[in-house]
Amino acid sequence: MIKIGIVGGTGYTGVELLRILAVHPEVEVKCITSRSEAGMPVADMYPNLRGHFDLVFSEPEPAVLSQCDLVFFATPHGVAMRMVPELMKAGVRVVDLSADFRIKDLTVWSRWYGMPHETPEWAEKAVYGLPEVVRDEIRQAQLVANPGCYPTAVQLGFLPLLEQGLVDPSRLIADAKSGASGAGRQGNIGMLHGEVGESFKAYGASGHRHLPEIRQGLSQAAGKTVGVTFVPHLVPMIRGIEATLYAELTDPADFDRLQALYEERYRNEPFVDVMPFGSHPETRSVRGANQCRMALHRQEQSNIVIVTSVIDNLVKGAAGQAVQNMNIMFGLDENLGLNAPALLP
């Protein structure tokens, strides 16, 4: 059995990790930490886990975490980078769900996250864990930076177009919407039901922290720097991300082969579903599942490709993808613990 530790277990991604790992046949969760809730039984905070875990939240002790085979960090930015070096020395493998190791240019990282990066050597070594792109590198990695939720939906939607050089890389647009759980589980007046219910708004339109991560991944896919406009929105639901993506074909005649291109690109990807042309994937169709579902569109004879991409921000956008990365790192079936279909209604 793979011995697992979770640092930062009281947030939504922490409990989602536990929900998935509760049915994983190859792992044993040895510890889950929370400085603020140390001593509280996990099932007292999350009653859905009653009967699945007898754990109590504990202080994040490096000596205890060093006895694990893999540690997940479900923490705010700035925490993992301070704790990772000691775990690396102990031979522990890490999947970090925070943003600490996602961006390679640390000057850019510091500008967006408002602090200097304290472990540049590990930022350089970390593998950005989008399995559909770098599966082989993930297998060998000791430290995996789990992609963000918006970046996962956006990158998977754009990848086939950029990899084949079929669109103008300087004019990419990502219009994305997320449920309220994307903001985390902290007290925030702006996230109260009375504030977000019956409403819909854009935020971060002048610049969002996920923009440099999106730009980095899309530039790697294109083999050159891309120009991308990314605007996130908050919708009054709990889970889910929908990204409507726009790109301009350099040769409109290529449009007729795009459906086949997408189907072939993702044919062997267990967690990407390319729907028939003109479909409208719904966030509820992936709720609770480690799935990215997408479809292609075209309006009349326009040379603009429209891709709609949906994920559950807490699963394929966070905890599910983290478990997918763990499975790859330990040579397990990639689907283990992740086979459950989405929840409907």
Any idea which residues carry the catalytic annotation?
Answer: 149
Q: Length of the chain, please?
A: 345
- CB 131: neighbour CB atoms within 10 A? 21
CA–CA separation, 7 and 58 (whole Å): 9
Neighbours of 295 (CB within 10 A): 21
Instruction: Collect all residues with Cβ–Cβ distance below 8 Å to 341 and sequence separation of at least 6.
Output: 289
**DSSP 8-state secondary structure symbol assigned to residue 160:** H
- Residue 340 has a CB neighbour count (10 Å cut-off) of 14
> What phi and psi, each to the nearest 5 degrees, are found at residue 41?
-60, 135
CA dist 31 and 67 (Å) reads 10
Between the alpha carbon of residue 50 and those of residues 30, 42, 45, the distances in Å are: 16, 8, 10
Cβ pair 92, 71 in contact under 8 A: yes
Cβ contacts of 206 within 8 Å, gap of 6 or more: none
CA distance 88 to 92: 6
Burial of 123 (0-12, 13-18, 19+ CB in 10 A): buried
